């Protein structure tokens, strides 16, 4: 049931929430917004308490900002296990991937799960290798889909009163396209998702270009979800 209040009523996280327009602009997979946005939560040991906050790029990328802030805090010295979840508008670049790996190498008690709305310059071989290296280091990387957009809206956004269920319904196809491309990256296949800008960068075009290796290596359900193949039709 929709509440008649926003998250403001007695919510200690209010000042750390972002505005609805910021969320919609940052996490829409159809748009290539310039600014990167990180929504994150940190949980220590078996505690049910979850610390949530958001971060933007400064002179450094959001991932590096997070790690610098996190490592400067006193509790970083704690041997207690720590679970971190990131919701990123863009996947980490290869340089951030390197910093993340070094950070996790120094702190084996930290686990990191990353949900990304888009893949950052995914044609760049270094960025692709950076994501593979992260996954090989134990980091879980997933594309944000409807449940994650719903979760972020409720927990990180200062949504208007009564609008707790009004998270933006982005078309699932774009998430499936990025999901397909992430699979290509994991399997070290050539890119198949082509993104181009037209009309003075006003129009963003998404196009798929698959080779035989994609059809051979990628599981049919992923190809099906991205609309590359269709279910067989039996004619009577």
CB of 178 to Zn ion, least distance (A): 18
Nearer Cβ to Zn ion, position 121 or 215? 121
CB of 93 to Zn ion, least distance (A): 3
Measured distance CA(16)–CA(157) in Å, rounded:
9
Residue 146: HSE in the Cβ half-sphere, 13 Å Cα cutoff:
8
Geometric angle at alpha carbon 50, from 63 and 167, rounded to 5°? 75
Instruction: Note whether 37 binds Zn ion by CB under 5 A.
Output: no
Query: Helices H, strands E: what count in the chain?
Result: 8, 7
CB of 135 to Zn ion, least distance (A): 16
Subset of residues 82 to 111 that bind Zn ion, contact rule: CB under 5 A: 93, 96
CB of 61 to Zn ion, least distance (A): 3
Q: Give the nearest residue (CB) to Zn ion.
A: 96
Number of residues that bind Zn ion (CB under 5 A): 3
Nearer Cβ to Zn ion, position 96 or 144? 96
For the window 43-62, what string marks contact with Zn ion as x by the rule CB under 5 A? ------------------x-
Other C-beta atoms lying within 10 Å of the C-beta of residue 53: 17
Closest CA to 52 of 65, 62, 63, 42: 42
Measured distance CA(25)–CA(140) in Å, rounded:
25
Nearer Cβ to Zn ion, position 18 or 93? 93
Measured distance CA(224)–CA(17) in Å, rounded:
36
Active site residue 31: no
Measured distance CA(208)–CA(202) in Å, rounded:
20
Catalytic residue, chosen from 22, 63, 176, 181, is 63
Instruction: Note whether 214 binds Zn ion by CB under 5 A.
Output: no
Other C-beta atoms lying within 10 Å of the C-beta of residue 63: 26
Q: Which residues bind Zn ion (CB under 5 A)?
A: 61, 93, 96
Catalytic center residues:
63
């Amino acid at each position: 049931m929709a509440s008649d209040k926003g998250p403001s009523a007695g919510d200690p996280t209010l000042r750390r929430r972002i505005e609805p327009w910021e969320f919609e602009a940052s996490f829409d997979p159809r748009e290539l917004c310039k600014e990167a946005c990180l929504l994150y939560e940190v949980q220590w040991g078996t505690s049910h308490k979850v610390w949530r906050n958001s971060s933007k790029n400064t002179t450094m990328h959001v991932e590096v900002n997070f790690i610098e802030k996190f490592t400067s805090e006193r509790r970083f010295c704690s041997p207690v296990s720590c679970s971190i979840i990131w919701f990123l508008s863009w996947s980490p670049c290869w340089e951030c991937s390197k910093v993340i790996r070094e950070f996790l190498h120094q702190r084996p008690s930290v686990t990191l799960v990353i949900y990304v709305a888009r893949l950052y310059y995914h044609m760049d071989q270094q960025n692709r290798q950076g994501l593979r290296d992260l996954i090989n280091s134990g980091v879980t990387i997933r594309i944000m889909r409807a449940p994650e957009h719903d979760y972020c809206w409720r927990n990180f956004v200062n949504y208007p009163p009564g609008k707790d269920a009004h998270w933006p319904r982005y078309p699932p196809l774009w998430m499936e396209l990025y999901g397909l491309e992430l699979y290509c990256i994991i399997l070290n296949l050539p890119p198949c998702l082509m993104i181009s800008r037209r009309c003075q960068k006003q129009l963003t075009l998404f196009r798929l270009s698959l080779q035989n290796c994609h059809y051979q290596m990628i599981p049919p359900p992923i190809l099906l979800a991205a609309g590359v193949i269709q279910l067989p039709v039996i004619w009577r």
